[in-house]
Amino acid sequence: MIWIIIGFVGQAMFTLRFVIQWIASEKAKKSIVPNAFWYFSIAGSLTLLVYAIHRRDPVFIVGQSTGSFIYLRNLYLIKKNRKSTSNQ
């Protein structure tokens, strides 16, 4: 039962990223991707990855591993851009 809960928690975090992006875009009256989107993407993806590993599902494992890398890379680029902008 704990693994079902872990799976649903991961899916909920993954779904919340779209809700956060939608709310931020509505407030800004344009399409934007807030940093919280990437944090929820990572949290959801890593939680689902743990669940996929437990289930021994290679398709799910590859998909979540790839996504996690992309989300981490985006946060790295955001942080790097902030540093270069603040140094100017």
Cβ neighbour number for residue 71 with a 10 Å cutoff: 21
Question: pLDDT tens, 47-57?
Answer: 999 999 999 99
Crossing angle of helices 58-86/35-55, nearest 10°? 160
What's the pTM?
0.78
Average pLDDT, the chain: 90
CA proximity to 46, closest of 6, 77, 84: 6
Per the document, the length of the chain is: 88
Looking at residue 4, the DSSP 8-state letter turns out to be H
pLDDT of residue 7: 86
Provide the 10 A C-beta neighbour count for residue 4: 9
